[in-house]
Structure 1
Amino acid sequence: MDLTTTAYGTWSGGRFMHFGETLDEARYRSCIQLAYEAGFRTFVTADVYGNGKADELLGEALEGIDRDSYCLVGTLGHDFYQGQRQGNRGYPRFTDPELRGPEGYLSYLRMACEKSLERCRTNHFDLVMLHNPDEAGYTNPAVWEGMEALRGEGLAGMLGIAPGPANGFTLDLIHCLEQFGDSIDWAMLILNPLEPWPVGLALPACEKFGTKVLTRVVDFGGLFFGDMKEGHEFKPGDHRAYRPDGWVEHGLEKIERMRPIADRHGLTMVQFAAIWNLSQKPVESVVPTFIQEAGDQARPIEDRIREFAVMPELRLSAEEIEEVKAIGDNTGCMMLKGASKRHETSERPDEWPMRADLLQLAGRYGLGEDW
């Protein structure tokens, strides 16, 4: 089964990514079940969330539902089996040379996939994605030979790549598509009307290589759901509290400038954000973060799920897409991850030195040399 227009991610609900209130296990499972009842037919999980706990809760929530009635997406790449967590850097990627060499990639991927499937209470993923790869994940043929083996063994129907968690990796992604595009059916990328850059630079390459795009963070940290107001206070530990001061107010001001377009089509603002994404080739699916905001006045997370479950069929015009892109233009708002001229050595799993072949690639795609 291929991905549907809307998808539900197991990072929702605050248990594994710290946004808003943390749902207890019963409510967390009930939200997944509500999502299915409301019309979601694609569910996305990652084995590293809770060291497998997200997989388990998803499997419990979907137990008894016809497996052929929904698309299941798994993501693999963080080695929490043998690797040691490195503070806020998380677990090392399975391609870390201190853990194994290329000859061990396949056995790791098979093991991780089988264990994730067991926790999800099924025997196959419709799509398996490489989760937050390091440089080896983008460049080493042994990685993608291992991913293809998962498909060949029936553990995965399709294959994909999910860069992140921070934005960027544009040149690395395009290079990966050039080298291994025949293996990559889907890419999960960050895109929304307030973050058209830098993923917008990679969309033409995804279309060129026939890679479909699932976009995450379409809600922009919950802002498009409409519950956050000027001066919003985040509870201690909420990831969004670490964003630059004023990001809520700045985002709300831009959203108000976009609102007439949403009103013209009878869309709520989160529907509008999703439709803006889906109006661009080759975006075919959107997955938000469902958050139970702190405070007694916050709208229930269940209402957010119902609102997002089924998207209207309409698409924005090319002129509307560009109008929104101009309002939300965030070019240069952050230092991009991946290959960069800032680094002479690779000291983190998501940053590495720029290579000459990537600058040549940037020239071919008209992306400039300022990386």
Structure 2
Amino acid sequence: MEHRALGRSGLWVSEVVYGNWLTHGETVDRATATACVRAALDAGITTFDTADVYALGAAEQVLGEALRGVRRDSVELATKVCLPTGDGPNDRGLSRKHVLESCHASLRRLGTDHIDLYQAHRFDPRTPLEETLVAFDDLVRAGKVRYVGVSEWTAAQIAEALALADEWGLARRIVSNQPQYNMLWRVIEPEVLPLCRREGIGQIVFQPLAQGVLTGKYQPGAAPPVGSRGAGFGRAPRFIGRVLGDAVLDRVQRLRPLADEAGVTMAQLAIAWTLATDGVSAAIIGATRPEQVTENAAAAGVRLTPDLLTEIDRTLGDLVDTDPTKTADMFAVKAEWARA
């Protein structure tokens, strides 16, 4: 496993991060979840990502239990706050009240005294930005949070937060952004990535496999394989259904010879592609089986040639979405995808 600095911060993270959205506490039983975490550790993964909203806290709890007995200083724990965790008006957002209360709840569920990377899960237009930044800063000064990041913020939102942090001399500037990013969904490239490169903010990207579509296991004109996320239950089919059109699946199948040429699986090709992007520090993988973790973790250290990267772009062509107005909309896809 290779490790990279998170932006220009002093925190190093594993190139492949293990995340548990839509799995732990939801579609994967605890024994399997623990086996997946152990497979991640065996593969050299040291960075684990979760959120208070995943399975309404159960994902954090399962992850904390799976890591019990692991030396705390040997791993980096990242979690998030913002999205609704209850029905009350203060059970969401980035108010001081919700940030502090959610942080303490996450610490209890994870079974730790500190969070290595605490992230604003989305931007909260209802709360003054200075209130949010001071709340995060207080957690850093209290030793409960080491570094601060955001997820799916626009370039303008990130820039405003950086300016306020500099003006007030806060203990920690934003060091990371967690956007959706893969071969098909590149909306951070026009605005977010250039800003973050200048400011030393590293990207920890999620959905590098586009919900499994880029693994090539979904065939155009065919039903999703039994046991796959596309054929699953709960919320998974709703998310992946947005990128299961035949036009996308046909083009993805054309990537298979490129993966063969590189000597990697389709999944490893997709993950390695994200890691080839300047400014990306790590890619988050999810899994429902330990063997998936092992396969995907092997993408760390894979270096794709410039010619291969160019051929991937040529193959996907106009299916690639780079519209920066969709930065914070993880479900928006090109109209032709929905019609396909």
Q: TM-score range by the shorter chain?
A: 0.7 to 0.9
| C-alpha distance in 2 between matches for 1:236 and 1:57 | 20
1:279 is aligned, of 270, 276, 279, to 276
Q: What amino acid maps onto 2:21 in structure 1?
A: W
Per-residue deviation, 1:326:
4.4
Distance 1:132 1:54 in 2: 19
Equivalent position to 1:46, from 38, 43, 51: 51
* 1:2 matched residue in structure 2: 12
The CA deviation at 1:316 is 2.8
Paired with 2:164 and 2:204, the residues of 1 have a C-alpha distance of 21
For 1:322-333, list aligned pairs within 5 A. 322-328=310-316, 329-331=319-321
* Partner SS, residue 8 of structure 1: strand
Aligned Cα root-mean-square deviation (Å): 3.1
Q: Quote the offset at 1:272 in angstroms.
A: 0.9
Aligned residue type for 2:20: T
Please say if residues 115 and 144 of structure 2, whose CA atoms lie closer than 8 Å, have aligned partners that are also in contact.
yes
2:133·2:161 contact (CA, 8 Å) conserved in 1?
no
- The alpha carbon displacement at 1:213 in A equals 0.4
Partner of residue 130 from structure 2, selected from 130, 134, 141? 141
Query: Measured at CA, do residues 154 and 332 of structure 1 come closer, stay the same or move farther in structure 2, by a change above 3 Å?
Result: closer
Name the SS for the 2:255 alignment partner: helix
Task: Give the corresponding residue for 2:261.
Answer: 264
Given the superposition, is the C-alpha separation of residues 268 and 178 from structure 1 closer, same or farther in structure 2, using an over 3 Å criterion? farther
Alpha-carbon distance in structure 1 between the residues aligned to 2:233 and 2:116: 37
- Amino acid aligned to 1:208: R
Q: Secondary structure at the match of 2:312?
A: helix
Hey, what does 1:87 align to over in structure 2? none
2:96 corresponds to: 106
1:251 paired residue among 248, 251, 274: 248
SS of alignment partner, residue 200 of structure 1: coil
Count matched residues.
306
**Partner of 1:126: helix, strand, or coil?**
strand
Aligned residue type for 1:257: R
String of CA shifts for 1:102-121, please: whole Å, max 9, x gaps.
Answer: xxx33432221122111111
Give the unaligned 5+ runs of structure 2. 1-10, 167-171, 225-230, 332-340
Aligned equivalents of 2:274, 2:246: Cα separation in 1: 22
Question: 1:10-44 deviations in whole A, cap 9, x for unaligned?
Answer: 2153644xxxxx22222222222222223221111
Look up the SS of the partner of 2:77 in the other structure: strand
Deviations 1:327-371 (A, max 9, x none): 3343378983659xxxxxxxxxx9xxxxxxxxxxxxxxxxxxxxx
Cα distance in 1 for residues equivalent to 2:184 and 2:244: 11
Flag the 1:172–1:305 CA change in 2: closer, same or farther, 3 A. Answer: same
Q: Describe the SS at the equivalent of 1:252.
A: helix
User: 1:218 corresponds to which residue?
Assistant: 208
SS at match of 1:113: helix
1:355: which partner in 2?
Answer: none
Check 1:232–1:173 CA distance in 2 against 1; reply closer, same or farther (3 A cut).
Answer: farther
Aligned partner letter, 1:281? D
Equivalent pair of 1:257/1:327 in contact (CA under 8 Å) = yes
SS in 1 for 2:136: helix
- Partners in 2 of 1:244 and 1:2 — Cα distance? 35
The amino acid that maps onto 1:225 is: T
Q: Distance in 2 between matches of 1:30 and 1:311?
A: 20
Contact 2:174/2:201, CA 8 A, preserved across alignment: yes
Q: Sort the Cα spacing of 1:335 and 1:148 in 2 relative to 1 into closer, same or farther, 3 A.
A: closer
Alignment-derived partner of residue 369 in structure 1: none
| Deviation by residue 1:186-210 (Cα, 9 ceiling, x = unmatched) | 10011111212x1222211110111
Aligned equivalents of 1:336, 1:177: Cα separation in 2: 22
Structure 1 match to 2:335:
none
* 5+ residue gaps, structure 1: 17-21, 85-90, 96-104, 292-300, 340-349, 351-371
1:135–1:338 contact (8 Å) kept in structure 2: no
TM-score of the pair, normalised by structure 1 = 0.72
- CA distance in 2 between partners of 1:237 and 1:52 (Å): 16
Distance 1:310 1:124, change over 3 A: farther
Contact kept, 8 Å, 1:106 with 1:149, in 2: the verdict is no
| Residue 255 (structure 1) shift | 2.1
More deviation, 183-192/330-339:
330-339
Cα separation, partners in 2 of 1:14 and 1:147, compared to 1, 3 Å = closer
Would you say the 8 A contact 2:81–2:93 is kept in 1? no
**2:70 is the alignment partner of 1:71:** no
- Mapped to 2, the partners of 1:335 and 1:45 lie a distance apart of 26
Residues 194, 2 of structure 1: alpha-carbon distance in 2 compared, 3 angstrom cutoff: same
Aligned pairs for 1:1-371 within 5 A: 2-13=12-23, 15-16=25-26, 22-80=27-85, 83=88, 93-95=92-94, 105-136=95-126, 140-163=129-152, 169=154, 171-173=156-158, 175-177=160-162, 180=165, 183-196=173-186, 198-201=187-190, 202-230=192-220, 231-233=222-224, 234-235=231-232, 237-241=234-238, 247-291=244-288, 301-328=289-316, 329-331=319-321, 336=326
CA distance in 2, matches of 1:237, 1:79: 18
